[in-house]
């Protein structure tokens, strides 16, 4: 089975039309996986075994190996042994971790603004000054960036546009830090839906760190960038202008990236139901070109049809290490499994130290 329902061609035409207009944005597309519990963190949640994919589920799902459960060691710290096919040295499970935050991963208490905010009703604001710093703003509207080295820090954005923050092609250096990016569900231009919290339309890197992100269908959308220490949650499903459920992802990359994409130490939750367009927690898709040079490290991921889409045929330089795949939405982390479309034979592809939230190591199934 394919990773998701193919997009309606109307949506693609709409996207191209809207992107040609300076003050207007693009239509939605589609696209999470949990991070590893640091060795010095409290403990990770224990949960049931992941269920195998149902009869109609896609193939190539990741499997948790049947290794033994964690047991107390003489030091009082839990220990675990990798099961068949599991990587040696897999970090131990840690019992009774109630939430990502309790296990050292980002949550509402460690993300978002750190200072009082001042209201700014900007509407869809175009930023055209190089080096501009937006700090301490409580924005009702969205930011369309036509400038270099813009920083949005300690701010909040509540958007009813296609995006919260968008970097246009030809510009670089955008940083979005310690901010809350959310949207008005039912008020967006995509048949009431809203599409991207942070969108990188160009070929340069974007940094998004310590942000609290919610509502948008494809929360963080970019082919290259540094996505770290963010809390993505409460994605809201919607039927888009094509009349189909919008495919949802906490992080999405469409392939064809010209640089590196680093996804490190985030909490990435996609609670969307399988019948409402769920795609991935982290979606690495070869929509616009080959996926390459992506690091997915030390994240807490849950939800989606699969928690992780791994890049598919031709993907190279994909390093997936020390992530925790939580069962908080589905017994198998994603509705159909942990991982799909992992390219086993890709040059410099690495799968190491990834495990379920009960400590069992995970190995992707062989590519058919």
Contact 12, 261 (CB under 8 A): no
State the pLDDT at residue 57.
41
CA torsion 69-72-77-78 (nearest 10°) is 0
Residue 249 tokens read as: 């992802």
Report the C-alpha gap between 220 and 152 in whole angstroms: 15
State the pLDDT at residue 257.
72
Residue 16 vs residues 39, 97, 311, 332: alpha-carbon distances, Å = 46, 45, 24, 36
What does each of the 368 residues of the chain score in pLDDT, given as a tens digit?
333 433 333 333 333 333 333 333 333 333 333 333 333 333 333 333 333 333 334 433 565 544 333 323 323 333 322 222 233 333 444 443 567 888 899 999 999 999 999 999 999 999 999 999 999 999 999 999 999 999 999 999 999 999 999 999 999 999 999 999 999 988 888 888 889 999 999 889 999 999 999 999 999 999 999 999 999 999 998 888 888 898 899 999 988 777 799 999 999 999 999 998 899 999 999 888 889 999 999 999 999 999 999 998 899 999 999 999 999 999 999 999 999 999 998 999 999 999 998 888 999 986 65
State the pLDDT at residue 186.
87
Give per-residue pLDDT as tens, 320-333.
999 999 999 999 99
Residue 274 vs residues 56, 145, 218, 336, 356: alpha-carbon distances, Å = 12, 34, 15, 9, 20
State the pLDDT at residue 242.
87
* Number of continuous H segments (helices) and E segments (strands) in the chain: 1, 30
State the pLDDT at residue 9.
35
Contact 301, 280 (CB under 8 A): no
Give per-residue pLDDT as tens, 224-234.
999 999 999 99
- Neighbouring CB atoms inside 10 A of 288's CB total 12
Closest residue by Cα to residue 214 from 194, 227, 233, 198 = 233
State the pLDDT at residue 97.
58
Report the run of H or E that residue 140 belongs to, with start and end.
strand 137-145
State the pLDDT at residue 237.
85
State the pLDDT at residue 246.
83
Residue 182 tokens read as: 């959310």
Question: Residue 248 — φ and ψ, nearest 5°?
Answer: -115, 145
Report the C-alpha gap between 175 and 225 in whole angstroms: 10
């Amino acid at each position: 089975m394919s990773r998701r329902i193919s997009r309606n061609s109307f949506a693609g035409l709409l996207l191209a039309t809207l992107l040609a207009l300076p003050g207007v944005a693009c239509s939605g597309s589609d696209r999470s996986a949990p991070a590893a519990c640091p060795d010095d963190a409290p403990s990770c949640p224990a949960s049931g075994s992941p269920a195998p994919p149902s009869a109609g589920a896609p193939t190539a799902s990741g499997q948790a190996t049947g290794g033994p459960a964690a047991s107390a060691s003489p030091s009082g710290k839990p220990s675990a042994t990798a099961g068949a096919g599991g990587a040696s040295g897999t970090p131990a499970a840690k019992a009774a971790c109630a939430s990502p935050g309790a296990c050292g991963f980002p949550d509402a208490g460690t993300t978002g603004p750190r200072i009082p905010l001042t209201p700014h009703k900007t509407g869809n604001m175009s930023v055209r000054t190089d080096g501009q710093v937006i700090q301490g703003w409580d924005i009702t509207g969205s930011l369309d960036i036509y400038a270099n080295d813009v920083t949005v820090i300690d701010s909040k954005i509540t958007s009813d546009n296609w995006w919260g923050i968008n970097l246009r092609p030809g510009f670089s250096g955008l940083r979005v830090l310690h901010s809350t990016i959310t949207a008005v569900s039912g008020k967006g231009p995509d048949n009431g839906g809203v599409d991207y919290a942070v969108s990188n339309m160009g070929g340069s890197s974007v940094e998004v760190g310590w942000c609290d992100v919610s509502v948008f269908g494809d929360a963080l959308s970019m082919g290259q960038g540094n996505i770290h220490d963010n809390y993505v949650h409460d994605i809201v499903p919607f039927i888009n202008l094509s009349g189909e459920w919008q495919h949802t992802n906490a992080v999405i990359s469409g392939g064809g990236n010209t640089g590196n994409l680093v996804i490190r130490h985030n909490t990435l939750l996609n609670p969307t139901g399988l019948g409402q367009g769920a795609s991935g927690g982290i979606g690495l898709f070869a929509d616009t070109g080959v996926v390459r040079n992506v690091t997915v490290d030390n994240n807490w991921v849950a939800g989606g049809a699969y928690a992780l889409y791994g890049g598919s045929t031709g993907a190279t330089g994909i390093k997936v290490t020390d992530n925790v795949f939580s069962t908080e939405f589905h017994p198998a982390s994603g509705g159909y499994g942990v991982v799909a479309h992992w390219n086993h034979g890709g040059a410099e592809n690495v799968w190491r130290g990834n495990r379920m939230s009960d400590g069992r190591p995970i190995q992707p199934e062989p590519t058919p």
